Amino acid sequence: MLNIYFGDMPEAIYNTSVYFRNTYKDKWITTELSREMIRDIDKSEVLSETLIQSPIFGPMPPTQLSGGVKTLMLIAYDRNHIFNAHNCGDNCAKWILKIAQMRKDRIVINLRHLMDFGEGEFKIRVMNTNKIVRNMAELTLQAVDFV
């Protein structure tokens, strides 16, 4: 289940782009999940583990992906750390929910803004209040004091 801590969380890795650049694994890039996220958010196509075709930059390395996509991959594949998803826009929200569904273990992320998880139902534990919420109406009421 997805767990979110809203507000300052010193143990969360804040500069996810730097962390990604120094730690990502080639095999992350070519998974079906990563291909879909990169296509959806960066409008780019994965050509290989080391090469991505961007409509803006042309051929580019994975380190040049958007901060949002890099953070999503860290959340999906690095199980040893907590990441601040500050550079994930609302267009990353559905992918965070999907990653949480795919991963069977407990996922923790840190947010300092109220991400819009859309109109649908979901299951998120707000760690600040230890309440489980199932839609944006409930999430807003639990999180609004901490952002």
Partner 1 sequence: MKGSKLIRISNRFAKYMFELRRNITVVRGDSGTGKTTLFNMVADYTRNKEQSGVNISAPCPCVALTDVNWEAQLRDIHESVVFIDEDSNHNYLSSKDFARAVQNSDNYYVLITRENLHDLPYSVEEIYEIKKSGKYHLFRNIYNSQFDNGYLHDEQPTQPFNVIVTEDAKSGFQFFQAVFEDNETVCIPAGANSNIHSVIRKDPEGKTVVIADGAAFGSEIDRVLKLEKSGFRICLYLPESFEWIILRSGLIDGVEDILASPSEYIESQKYLSWERYFTALLTEQTQDGYLAYRKAKLNENYLNDNEVGAILSVLPEVIRRKRKTI
Binding-site ranges for partner 1 (CB under 8 A): 14-17, 41-43, 55-57, 66-69, 86-92, 112-114, 116, 136-138, 140-141, 144-145, 147
Nearer to partner 1, 30 or 135 (CB): 135
> Which H or E run includes 126?
strand 124-126
**Euclidean distance between CA atoms 26 and 10, whole angstroms:** 28
**How distant, in Å, are the alpha carbons of 48, 85, 97, 118 from that of 102?**
23, 18, 9, 19
Cβ at position 50, least distance to partner 1 in Å: 20
Cβ at position 60, least distance to partner 1 in Å: 10
**Euclidean distance between CA atoms 123 and 3, whole angstroms:** 9
Cβ at position 43, least distance to partner 1 in Å: 7
